Amino acid sequence: MENIFDVKCLFNRGQLENGNLIRFLGISKGSAFETEYQLLLAKDLNYITNEEYKLLLAKIQSIIHMLIALIKSLRNLKLATRNPKPLLTKNLKLATRNPKPDDRRES
């Protein structure tokens, strides 16, 4: 789960894009599946009780489902914004950047 901490560090430095976030979340999902296996192994080797296993398994499966849903949501967002339509035409942008002297407000 340290991958999620790495994501936070990248986000705080402004180096996180949607594609990188999806990649990091995918790595985190893989780590969560590994943790799920480690829980099973710990139960089989009697390091944890069956009750502890069930409790921890429910928590890790909840985390996995949240990661899957977030990845799916971000992928849909990425597809929707891949070719966004321009909100303004080129002429309108130029007019907005260089207003005529009559359009300026006087202070």
- All structural domains of the chain: 2-101 (1.20.1440)
CB distance 11 to 32 below 8 Å: no
- Counting residues of the chain whose pLDDT is more than 90, the rounded percentage is 44
The stretch 61-87 carries a mean pLDDT of: 79
Instruction: Give pLDDT, residue 60.
Output: 97
pLDDT, tens digit (0-9, with 9 covering 90-100), for 45-59:
999 999 999 999 999
Q: What is the pTM of this model?
A: 0.61
Residue type, 43: K
- Estimate to the nearest angstrom the gap between the alpha carbon of 87 and the chain centroid: 26
Of 72, 67, 78, 76, nearest in space to 19 by CA: 78
Mean local confidence (pLDDT), 13-24: 72
Q: Which of 41-45, 71-75, 94-98 has the highest mean pLDDT?
A: 41-45
- Residue 96: per-residue pLDDT: 46
